[in-house]
Amino acid sequence: MAEIKVPELAESITEGTIAQWVKKVGDRVEKGEFIVELETDKVNAEIISEEAGVLTQILAEEGDTVLVGQVIAVVEAGEGAAPAPAAPAAEPKAEAAPAPAAAQTTPAPAVVEETSNERVVASPAARKLAREKGIDLSAISPVDPQGRVRVQDVAAHGTAPAVAPVAAPTPVATTGGPVVFTPAANSDRVTIEKMSRRRQTIAKRLLEVKQSTAMLTTFNEIDMTNIMALRKRKQEEFVKANDIKLGFMSFFTKAVVAALKKYPYVNAQIVGDEIHLNNFFDIGIAVSTEEGLVVPVVRDANSKNFAEIEKDIANLAKKAREKKLGLNDMAGGSFTITNGGVFGSLMSTPIMNGTQAGILGMHSIVNRPVAVNGEVQIRPMMYVALSYDHRIIDGKDSVGFLKTVKELIENPEDLLLNS
């Protein structure tokens, strides 16, 4: 018999949430086979079986919080499928007179097995809610075009007209403040969704950055005419040579590295009462996932060419979407780039990442009238923003950094001289 335990993933990780069981009780398991996915504060980890056999017990359900070292399953020797352990028999109940009508309660819903032959893709919260409501996940029609069932889909499934009037919002007095009206728990005006572990961690860290730094933001705009023309001119040749498209991110990464070399305090961090000036250029690239924003890191970006940077970014983004990022993929970045333009953002104030001193925000490219050599022309323009820690970066350096990025992007051939 082999016990499946939650492994030690990193010094700072002590617990996680069962995201998905890949195997079910009775399934054959091979040694080293992935059987359960664990969601932690930082990454999703695949837990494997150290022995071959049959999965005979699952001791933690999807959505449950488990601790490092906790036994979550048992694998026993065997070749064939083992029957799932029967649920404990209910104790005999003595007959009793029916309770008065006013005291009768609604019985808890029965647990319903998923009847679909194909595994339903659903979030842990959705699975947990479905179990509580006794709903078969395979019967739910998700809103997500990719077919992932979310908690909102479960909550909306089979909703019938209310049989009783919804209670009016209850006023709740707050000490020293205005009265807050909280909708009743059964109101269809509010959908309550528990924050995922990843979302809780993101919220906590963003709040910590806001509270522990003197964050300011400076803005500029970039004329993207030349870089767009260069990409169009070199795209076919670049793809043939490197088997990947030439995007904007490699240009901005190169420009950021050049600007960091010129303004080293933007590439620094505060440790206690010391300023640590980083002599490496590990650039974090923010990637949006279903669970929130993650920031994998392009290592030693200063020593990589455009194709290598594009491939690194593509591979990291793919791993992020597939929940395959490891701790090493996200640790130790010295500066971050985030691109809100892919979602249509025209301008924003990005929040710095962890202990870093700066973050560059890219935005949508929009054709706007601008003055060029005394004439008004329509040019593709992008607003850029640099949020920085004013405790170690002065206005002169922050403005100079952003101006350097602007000049290099507007004259992309100059980036080759800074490579």
Tens-place pLDDT, residues 225-243 = 999 999 999 999 999 999 9
22 burial type by CB count under 10 A (0-12 exposed, 13-18 middle, 19+ buried): middle
* CA-based nearest residue to 224, from 66, 119, 370: 370
Residue 249 near residue 341, CB atoms below 8 Å: no
CATH number, residue 280? 3.30.559.10
What's the rounded Cα separation, in Å, for the pair 415 and 257?
Answer: 10
pLDDT, the chain, mean: 81
Q: What is the dihedral of CA 173, 174, 175, 177, to 10 degrees?
A: -110
Q: Is 181 part of a structural domain of the chain?
A: no
Q: Is 358 part of a structural domain of the chain?
A: yes
Q: Is 200 part of a structural domain of the chain?
A: no
Sequence-ordered list of residues with C-beta below 8 angstroms from that of 414, at least 6 positions apart, any chain: 407, 408
| Per-residue pLDDT tens over the stretch 135-176 | 887 788 776 555 667 666 777 775 544 444 445 555 555 555
Residue 365 near residue 341, CB atoms below 8 Å: yes
Pick from 76, 94, 112: which residue ends a domain? 76
Q: Is 42 part of a structural domain of the chain?
A: yes
Q: Is 94 part of a structural domain of the chain?
A: no
CATH number, residue 15? 2.40.50.100
Specify the number of domains making up the chain.
2
Question: In 10 A of CB 77, how many CB atoms?
Answer: 11
Q: Is 222 part of a structural domain of the chain?
A: yes
Domain containing 72 equals 2-76
| Per-residue pLDDT tens over the stretch 22-46 | 888 888 888 888 888 888 766 777 8
Three-class secondary structure assignment of 206-255: HHHHHHHCCEEEEEEEEECHHHHHHHHHHHHHHHHHHCCCCCHHHHHHHH
Q: Is 198 part of a structural domain of the chain?
A: no
Pick from 51, 76, 101: which residue ends a domain? 76
Residue 152: the pLDDT is: 66
Pick from 76, 110, 139: which residue ends a domain? 76
Q: Is 88 part of a structural domain of the chain?
A: no
- With H, G, I as helix, E, B as strand and everything else as coil, classify residue 347: coil
| Per-residue pLDDT tens over the stretch 261-308 | 999 999 999 988 899 999 999 999 999 887 778 899 999 999 999 999
Residue 121: the pLDDT is: 67
Residue 336 near residue 353, CB atoms below 8 Å: yes
Kindly state the tokens that stand for 39: 């969601």
| Per-residue pLDDT tens over the stretch 40-54 | 766 777 888 888 889
Active site residues: 390, 394
